[in-house]
Amino acid sequence: MEAERKEQILAAACEVVSEIGFKSLRIADVAKRAGTSTGTVHYYFDTKRDLMHAAFDWNFEQSMGRRREILESDAAPRQRLRDFVESYLPEGDATIAAWHVWAELWVEALHDPDLQELNERVYGEWRRAVAAIIRDGQDAGEFRDGDAVIFANGLIGMIDGLSLQVLLGSRSMTADRMRAVCEQVLEWFFLTP
């Protein structure tokens, strides 16, 4: 029951952050969203900062969990990489909410060494996942040769940058345009069939 309650609180914190941002978040907002009391939230998290650190980490775990099927798929590396990139396009309520939480993490991490460390850890996991798919594609002769980690960093950086433009409502970078850009870049990775 305790693990379930804690999970409810973390999910509620991410929902509130996605809607109003970290700076405006109050423990009372999270408690109300989770259907509990502020005392219960404080039972699990001493401070707003502790809650948000745990919520940012939880957001990443949920994000990777939604992609685990892609990562563990028997599909060809080319298809897995396409599916993985597609899954990060800022479309659909869950993915958009997760991106909002990420954007808040980045802002807060500028001034918080603990969040910088969390960001480093989660990007390390994401980088390893993408690089593993790229290595599989290279081993299968489907992808260009080169440093898979460098390719992964470039792809992740592109996805982050384009996603922020989409989230900010850019008229020149919609989700469909982002998909087209990503597909063009992926085509560069792929060797001709």
pLDDT digits (tens, 9 = 90+) for 135-176: 999 999 999 999 999 999 999 999 999 999 999 999 999 999
Residue 179 domain-assigned? yes
CA angle 179, 161, 63 (to 5 degrees): 75
Which CATH number fits the domain that encloses residue 125? 1.10.357.10
Residue 29 domain-assigned? no
Range of the domain at 71: 53-189
Residue 64 domain-assigned? yes
CA angle 138, 143, 146 (to 5 degrees): 70
Residue 6 domain-assigned? no
d(C-alpha 59, C-alpha 54), whole Å: 9
Residue 48 domain-assigned? no
Q: What percent of the chain has pLDDT over 90?
A: 88
Please give the tally of structural domains in the chain: 1
Residue 66 domain-assigned? yes
Residue 153 domain-assigned? yes
Residue 44 domain-assigned? no
The candidate with the shortest Cα–Cα distance to 154, out of 131, 121, 177, is 131
d(C-alpha 159, C-alpha 130), whole Å: 12
End-to-end CA distance of the chain: 52
pLDDT tens digits, 60-105: 999 888 888 898 899 999 999 999 999 999 999 989 999 999 999 9
Give φ, ψ of 143 to 5 degrees.
Answer: -115, 160
d(C-alpha 71, C-alpha 80), whole Å: 7
